[in-house]
Amino acid sequence: MSMNRRQFLKLASASTILGVGAASVINNISNSSLEAAQIHPDPRSLKAKRWGFVVDVSKLTTEEDYQRCIDTCHDIHNVPNNPNPRHEVKWIWKDTYEHTFPNTAEDKIMNRELQEKNFLLFCNHCQNPACVRVCPTKATFKRESDGIVMQDMHRCIGCRFCMAACPFGARSFNYTDPRPNIKVENKEFPTRMIGVVEKCTACYERLAVGKQPACVEKSNGAIVFGDLEDPNSEVRKLIAEKYTIRRKPELGTQPSIYYVIGGGEHA
């Protein structure tokens, strides 16, 4: 079979394109089969239909109570301590009533104690997460098994659409290299690189081995963690008993953190 240079180049380029395409398809197929074979869930792992939190701020009385929860989370997850507030990375933090519930902040004559109360804020793991809806790569996704809003820092392209979309400011972007700002690295948890978004992932790695989220463990009962779909769970009992509020419920994202305000006699 004879061919001139032009025909040869055509054939060569066509077969290259086909070859690359076929290789990626085969790769995908073989990858997924590997994955399926590798999953052996730990028998100790905690399971729920939809994980949720009840945060009773009346039980957070001292500065220390807040800081303990924040430090444990940031330490075990290698959250960098960026000194520049504009570039701050935070998974869980303390903020005022006004900032936590900005739509009610206009009330000038409300309960002073409540107004001065601080809240613990972290990802709401919404049932209808806006961040997941906008992500162009599925780098952030809701785990169908238990409702945790996950973040794949290896797939994230750093477009920051999720940060624009999250109504709760729960997402942080690595504006600078996070690694120099990690004081003591936890080798059990990955560190991140420049240019990706990160956030609280409800300690999925602890749930997988039967442990409660770290902040819950360190909160002395101020944060309760459980299955919102299970009417007999502790979180559901607390929600049934006490008056709870969620942040920005009017946006329809269905946050999974319920705040108990507690406080005065008549509350």
Which CB atom, from 70 or from 156, has the smaller least distance to other proteins? Answer: 156
Rg (CA), the chain: 23
Which CB atom, from 180 or from 231, has the smaller least distance to other proteins? Answer: 180
Helix (H, G, I), strand (E, B) or coil at 242: coil
Minimum distance between the CB of residue 100 and other proteins, rounded to whole angstroms? 7
Minimum distance between the CB of residue 173 and other proteins, rounded to whole angstroms? 6
Query: DSSP class of residue 146?
Result: T
Query: What is the C-alpha separation between 146 and 226, in angstroms, rounded?
Result: 11
Minimum distance between the CB of residue 132 and other proteins, rounded to whole angstroms? 8
Which CB atom, from 45 or from 176, has the smaller least distance to other proteins? Answer: 176
HSE-CB for 132 with a 13 A CA cutoff: 17
Minimum distance between the CB of residue 77 and other proteins, rounded to whole angstroms? 17
Please give the residue ranges that form the binding site for other proteins (CB under 8 A).
84, 86-89, 95, 98-100, 102-103, 105-106, 130, 133-139, 155-161, 163-169, 172-177, 193-197, 248, 251-253
Beta strands in the chain (DSSP E): 51-56, 92-96, 118-122, 140-142, 149-151, 172-173, 197-198, 223-227, 244-245, 257-260
Minimum distance between the CB of residue 57 and other proteins, rounded to whole angstroms? 16
Which CB atom, from 137 or from 186, has the smaller least distance to other proteins? Answer: 137
**126 close to 149: Cβ distance less than 8 angstroms:** yes
- Stretch (H or E) spanning 239: helix 234-241
Which CB atom, from 97 or from 225, has the smaller least distance to other proteins? Answer: 97
